[in-house]
Amino acid sequence: MDAATRAQFGSAYVHLDTACYGLLPAPATDAAQMLLQELGAHRGMGAGPFQDLDACRRSFARIAGVPAGRVALGSAVSVSVSLVASALPDGAEVLCAEDEFISLTNPFAVRPDLKVRTVPLADLAASVRPGTDLVAVSSVQSGTGRLADLAAVRAAARSHGARTLVDTTQECGWRPVRAADFDVTVCSAHKWLLCPRGVSFLTVSEEAQEWILPRHACWMAGADPLGPPADAVQLARDARRYDQSVPALAYAAGRHSLELIAELGVERVGRHNIALADRFRAGAVRLGLEPAPAPGSAIVLVPGAAHAVGHLHRAGITATDRGGLRCSFHLYNTEEHIDRALNVLEESLSLRAT
């Protein structure tokens, strides 16, 4: 990635943990600080400018490959998933992959009348059967970085009349997303889309809008949010009816992060990220480690190396223990960062061996 892009990120640490949270570019932090100053000076309406929300919707729609009218704004993936869970009939079967991130599965699990069935990710498409009502899966698995075969899942779901819900949180921002291929997608933007926590998106097909009720319909979901209160029951005709009353600061900053990703292009970002991940995988293998299989992923899990997380942190490198050492690579990382991390990992292995 070019130096001008990397210069927008001023972290003193080498951040190899985007699968947990992404860094904010300077224009995003500047926008949040400006809005804070306006609020502190008692200027503005306090909710933040609506043009920021519209800009976020448009940028995400561009990234996800859908019209803006299919995008709803939210603050958490679990809230959007709960809309889908509440719309399923009693006794509905929901098929999920094993070890899914719980924000995707919990809204179904808390309904005791639903039949939640889990299978290994590799078996997901083959496990769709007559009577399966919904297939819910993350396009990229948070823990291991494994990529779901979404084409196979989509084909299997269609052949059995099942609906589809895809969590693109660990994909959107570095892999091309085809949200139009699925009934519903959800995305938390504080990871690869580099937004503050509190920015999330929901895409809903026109058909899905017929069976998913906007149960948390707020004033922002109205046909005219700034119109007379008596008109509040008139909801927007498109996916905006599912909008939540979102945090203004997060969206004021997120606008600039989303515009950066959209302008760079996810294909370009993805090539950069995958090259760094492959470099790290190869280095881990040279050290005698065996990364979890996840070809083509920007997330690398190295089982048996979780002890190195503390060593990395003390060396100014952020990573995570996810049943092993998990590193994830994004546009602000460089080959030098990878080599530094591998050097610390090698030192950690040597210390453990003595």
Q: How many domains does the chain have?
A: 2
Domain that holds residue 32: 27-264
Q: Note whether 230 and 292 are same-domain residues.
A: no
Q: What local confidence, expressed as pLDDT, does residue 231 receive?
A: 55
Q: Is 38 exposed, middle or buried (0-12, 13-18, 19+ CB in 10 A)?
A: middle
Chain-centroid distance of CA 165 in Å reads: 13
If asked whether residues 161 and 62 sit together in one domain, one would say yes
225 and 307 share one domain: no
Cβ neighbours around 180 below 10 Å, total: 13
Q: CATH code at 292?
A: 3.90.1150.10
- Of 204, 236, 264, the residue at which a domain comes to its end is 264
| Residues 281 and 191 both lie in one domain | no
pLDDT of residue 48: 57
Q: Which of 228, 245, 264 is the last residue of a domain?
A: 264
Q: Report the C-alpha gap between 28 and 8 in whole angstroms.
A: 9
Instruction: Report the pLDDT value the prediction gives residue 45, as an integer from 0 to 100.
Output: 54
The verdict on 228 and 182 lying in the same domain is yes
- Region for 122 from its dihedrals, namely left if φ exceeds 0, alpha if ψ lies in -120 to 50, beta otherwise: alpha
Specify the CATH number for the domain of residue 99. Answer: 3.40.640.10
**218 lies in the same domain as 349:** no
Task: State the DSSP string of 277-296.
Answer: HHHHHHHHHHTT--PPP-TT
Q: Kindly give the confidence (pLDDT) of every residue in the chain, 354 residues in length, as a single tens digit, with 9 standing for 90 and above.
A: 788 898 899 777 899 999 999 999 999 999 999 888 887 777 665 555 678 999 999 999 999 999 999 999 999 999 999 999 999 999 999 999 999 999 999 999 999 999 999 999 999 999 999 999 999 999 999 999 999 999 999 999 999 999 999 999 999 999 999 999 999 999 999 999 999 999 999 999 999 999 999 999 888 888 877 777 655 568 889 999 999 989 989 999 999 999 999 999 999 999 999 999 999 999 999 999 999 999 999 999 999 999 999 999 999 999 999 999 999 999 999 999 999 999 999 999 998 877
217 and 241 inside one domain: yes
